[in-house]
Every structure is written in C-alpha cells, then in structure tokens.
Amino acid sequence: MWPTFKGEEWDKGMDQFAEKHFLVLDQFLPPLVLETVCKYFNSVEAEDRLKAAAIGPGKERTRISEIRSDFVHWLDRPLMPELETFFEGMDAIRASIAESLFLSLRGYEFHLAKYPKGAFYKPHFDQFNTRENRMISVVIYLNENWKPEHGGALKLHRPQVRLIEPVMNRMVMFRSDTVLHEVLPAHETRRSLTGWLLKHPATVGVLGI
C-alpha cells in the first residue's frame, strides 16, 4: 500500500513547499499503483478516448491551440474501479497536505494528459479568475526513458525559475495561484497524470470534457 506521508522526510518536503511554493518527489507512486495507472493510460489511448484540452472554467471554456495543444481524459472515480488504489492514496495525501499546511482541501480532480510530438502549454497559472477552487497542482509523469533532448520540461517561471524533466514516476506539486509555469514543446509523446487539490469538493460534470 501507499506510504503514510508522515514522518521527517515528508515534513521536510512540506516545509520546502511552504517556502518555495513547489516540491519535486521521485518514485512517487508505489509500483503496483504506477503499473495500474500506466495500464489504464494505455487502454484509454488505444480506445482513442483522450480529447483536445480546453482553457478556462465552465461555459467560458475554449480550445486555443496557440496556448495549449495537449489531449486529456478526466478521471471519474465511480466509473473507474480499477483506479481505486490511486484514489485511496490521493485521499490520504490530500488529508496529510491539508494537515501539514493548515489548508482546507476538500476535494481533487485529475486527468490523464498526453502531449503528442510538438505539443506545449504556454505560460499560465492554474487558478482561474472566476473559479478559485484550485489550490495545489499535482503532476505525476509517466515517461519511461525520458531524455533532456526530448524537451517537454515543465518550466516554473515564478516565484522560482526551475526546469523539471518529466521522468517516470516523478511528482511535482506547486501552488496553483502563485506559480507561473509552462510546458516546453515535447519532441516525443509526453504522458502525465495531472490534477488539482481543491478547496471545495469537485462538482462532477462542470468541466464538461
């Protein structure tokens, strides 16, 4: 099962997050959970169930391919029992982060994301002006043998400049409201499981994609 996200290492990570607004942890998912997520990703891809991503909340959502060109598949817990171990782990992590950072985090939302060759996401914040629900962004990368020449790094611009390579089972979390970030053009297919810890529970269907 998942580590408990307690103890000295975790506390150190939470301190770093509070100070720098981001944290990178490698070997994040336990091997069996990682395998399940990768299998699920493969089946979604094989069935062509990833959709062109859009920008903005609710009705204002639009697809602007000059801003982002990835494809996503939203996770819906009741419909995906095979991912239950992932959701159980996220429940524990959400609770642990909320406790460590004295935050109210009452939900989360996750999607699979695929950046085909040449895809990118221009600099942006993850918190929308009209919907301030997203508190912390969490990205888990699913790319075996990723090399720097494959591009596709996550670039944090503010408050810290940092390049993060999307290597297998690396997790990066950052504040959705303060961290300006972008995905540099990927020269190979780039896969991730990306989500947000939310102040209020997720409202199913609002995103509509």
**Which of 136, 139, 125, 141 shows the shortest CA–CA distance to 97?**
136
Q: Report what 183 binds from ligand OGA, Mn ion, none; CB cut-off 5-8 Å by kind.
A: ligand OGA
Burial of 8 (0-12, 13-18, 19+ CB in 10 A): exposed
The alpha-helical segments, DSSP class H, found in the chain are 8-20, 31-46, 84-101
DSSP 29-79: S-HHHHHHHHHHHHHHHHTT--EE--BSSGGG-B--TTTB--EEEE--GGG
Q: Which does 171 bind (CB under 5 to 8 A by kind): Mn ion, ligand OGA, none?
A: none
Peptide bond into 78 cis (omega under 30): no
Choose, by CB under 6 A, the member of 126, 165, 177, 188 that binds ligand OGA. 126
For residue 105, the partner it binds in Mn ion, ligand OGA, none, with Cβ less than 5 to 8 A by kind, is none
The answer to the question of residue 183 lying near ligand OGA (CB under 6 A) is yes
The correct pick among 50, 83, 135, 139 for binding ligand OGA (CB under 6 A) is 139
**Which partner in ligand OGA, Mn ion, none is near 45 (CB below 5 to 8 A by kind)?**
none
Q: Does 182 bind Mn ion (CB under 5 A)?
A: no
Residue nearest to Mn ion (CB): 126
Contacted by 154, from Mn ion, ligand OGA, none: CB < 5 to 8 Å by type: ligand OGA
The yes or no reply on residue 177 touching Mn ion (CB under 5 A) is no
Sign of the four-CA dihedral 191, 153, 28, 96: negative
Q: Is 126 in the site for Mn ion (CB under 5 A)?
A: yes
Residues that bind Mn ion (CB under 5 A): 126
Residues that bind ligand OGA (CB under 6 A): 113, 121, 126, 139, 154, 181, 183, 192, 194
